């Protein structure tokens, strides 16, 4: 009786106290929509004793919105609002997302959309994008009833913009560095052994930030991680390189942390992998981007702005930081690095047509990508194709395409380092 009473009590917004967690083991997770694509890469979730989200519904009426999240276990959840852009954040322990038949917002109310996923190890987030200001009217966890599990219920009510701004902000204990920290693999800062070059492969997006997606359900964050793992195998098989991934699981890594990982490891080359999207479904083909203070064209500027929004999408606290694009100051110390980045980008553009189609016009572009702003490591960002194009998406879903693209990029890496590694590598490239 005491447990049910405690569970029915309202959870305090932004400072919830832990609720008792029932001792149980989560049932084995079912396959995700693209499990077949990821199975050979070892990306599937194994059985873990984590709480599960097994249902997700949104109800909308008279300007109000109610989120009901069905859970396998009660959770300590904090709900708060943030600005720029306006959004509601549900911060919770790590969970398995296994909701079936989830409902989506109508688009007519204050809720524009929502996203969820792993923010960092041990921490999941559910983020609601708003089209109008709201106040958090009520947050509570209800006990199992009528065949359902535990239920997290969050009610959002209309409010004024001034009231929204007055109450928005980070809870004190998760602001600053804590809110921004990502779960990144440990990296060695020792020099390369035996003269091997260290290649940093950065699979874009991840966790709470899925990136773009195709019509068949192929998601950018999963695709690029699969390609990164394939490319790592190809590069390591040459015996000439060490390879480190900025992430090797479905976890969010802030943009600045991706740069820090590469610099702390003293990487020799940084390759960030992404997939593109367009309102025009006929646009297709891969492209390669390098850092520039001024974008090469309007499309490049728009893409950089979108990619640089990754931290905001995931709910990272950027208080006190400059805009990632505005803070990119290209001085004389970076010129050599930028020149080497451009040379490698041109090499990649020359190698990719053996495996995939290139964007017909200007496949090498430049803009202020935050993830490329390390001043001492040559860096490129490769958009592997357009998930919004049916032909590109169909190709990217195949193992043959991933293997071909990995071999092409590996060949470009060989060509880039041939003058430094010596005659044996130059002979192998002939």
Q: What is the pLDDT of residue 172?
A: 78
Q: What is the pLDDT of residue 120?
A: 84
Q: What is the pTM of this model?
A: 0.70
Closest CA to 244 of 253, 231, 257, 255: 231
Instruction: Judge if the upstream peptide bond of residue 329 is cis by omega within 30 degrees of 0.
Output: no
- Residues 30 and 86: beta-carbon distance below 8 Å: no
- Residues 322 and 308: beta-carbon distance below 8 Å: no
Q: What is the pLDDT of residue 88?
A: 95
Contacts of 361 (CB under 8 A, 6+ apart): none
3-state secondary structure string across 77-124: CEEEEECCCCEEEEEEECCEECCCCCCCCCCCCCEEEEEEEEEECCEE
Q: What is the pLDDT of residue 189?
A: 40
Q: What is the pLDDT of residue 62?
A: 84
- What distance separates the 2 farthest-apart alpha carbons in the chain? 77
Write the DSSP assignment of 250-275 as a string of letters: S----HHHHHHHHHHTT-SEEEEEEE
Per-residue CA distances from 226 to 140, 174, 184, 285, 403 (Å)? 39, 31, 17, 19, 10
Q: Is 144 exposed, middle or buried, given 0-12, 13-18 or 19+ CB atoms closer than 10 A?
A: middle
pLDDT string in tens for the chain (430-residue length): 333 333 333 343 333 333 333 322 333 334 444 445 444 444 444 445 789 999 999 999 888 999 999 999 999 999 999 998 899 999 999 999 988 878 888 888 899 999 898 888 889 999 999 999 999 999 999 999 888 889 999 999 999 999 999 999 888 776 544 444 444 444 444 444 457 999 999 999 999 899 999 999 899 999 999 999 999 999 999 999 999 999 999 999 988 889 889 989 999 999 999 999 999 999 999 999 998 877 766 776 777 777 767 766 666 655 544 444 434 444 544 677 888 999 999 999 999 999 999 999 899 998 888 888 787 899 999 999 999 999 999 999 999 999 999 999 999 999 999 987 655 555 555 5
Q: What is the pLDDT of residue 317?
A: 58
208 vs 314: CA distance, rounded Å: 5
Q: What is the pLDDT of residue 420?
A: 73
Q: What is the pLDDT of residue 425?
A: 57
Displacement of CA 381 from its chain's centroid (Å):
15
369 vs 285: CA distance, rounded Å: 20
Judge: domain 182-428, CATH 3.40.50.1970.
no
So what CATH class is 2-16+49-171? Answer: mainly beta
Q: Residue ranges per domain, the chain?
A: 2-16+49-171, 182-428
């Amino acid at each position: 009786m005491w447990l049910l009473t405690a569970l029915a009590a309202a959870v305090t917004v932004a400072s919830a106290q832990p609720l008792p967690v029932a001792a149980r083991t989560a049932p084995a997770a079912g396959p995700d929509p693209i499990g077949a694509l990821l199975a050979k890469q070892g990306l599937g979730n194994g059985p873990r004793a984590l709480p599960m989200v097994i249902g997700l519904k949104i109800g909308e009426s008279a300007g109000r919105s109610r989120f009901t999240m069905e859970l396998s276990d009660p959770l300590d959840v904090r709900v708060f609002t943030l600005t720029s852009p306006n959004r509601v954040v549900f911060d919770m322990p790590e969970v398995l997302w296994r909701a079936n038949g989830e409902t989506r917002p109508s688009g007519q109310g204050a809720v524009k959309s929502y996203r969820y996923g792993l923010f960092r190890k041990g921490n999941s987030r559910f983020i609601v994008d708003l089209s109008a200001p709201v106040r958090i009217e009520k947050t509570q966890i209800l006990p199992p009833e009528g065949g359902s599990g535990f239920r997290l219920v969050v009610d959002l009510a209309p409010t004024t913009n001034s009231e929204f701004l007055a109450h928005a902000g980070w809870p004190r204990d998760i602001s600053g560095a804590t809110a921004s920290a990502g779960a990144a693999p440990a990296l060695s800062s020792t020099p390369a052994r035996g003269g091997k070059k260290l290649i940093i492969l950065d699979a874009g997006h991840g966790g709470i930030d899925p990136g773009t997606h195709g019509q068949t359900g192929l998601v950018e964050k999963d695709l690029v991680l699969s390609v990164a793992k394939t490319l790592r195998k190809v590069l390591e098989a040459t015996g000439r390189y060490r390879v480190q991934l900025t992430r090797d699981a479905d976890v969010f890594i802030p943009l600045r942390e991706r740069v820090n990982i590469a610099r702390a490891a003293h990487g020799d080359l940084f390759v960030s992998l992404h997939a593109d999207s367009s309102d025009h479904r006929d646009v297709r083909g891969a492209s390669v981007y390098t850092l520039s203070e001024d974008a090469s064209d309007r499309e490049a500027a728009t893409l950089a702005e979108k990619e640089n929004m990754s931290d905001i999408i995931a709910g990272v606290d950027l208080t006190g930081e400059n805009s990632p694009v505005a803070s990119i100051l290209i001085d004389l110390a970076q010129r050599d690095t930028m020149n080497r980045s451009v040379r490698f980008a041109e090499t990649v553009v020359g190698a990719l047509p053996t495996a995939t189609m290139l964007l017909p016009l200007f496949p090498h572009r430049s803009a202020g990508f935050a993830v490329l702003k390390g001043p001492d490591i040559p860096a490129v960002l490769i958009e592997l194709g357009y998930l919004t194009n049916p032909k590109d998406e169909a190709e990217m879903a195949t193992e043959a395409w991933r293997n071909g693209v990995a071999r092409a990029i590996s060949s470009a890496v060989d060509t880039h380092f041939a003058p430094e590694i010596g005659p044996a590598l130059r002979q192998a490239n002939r």
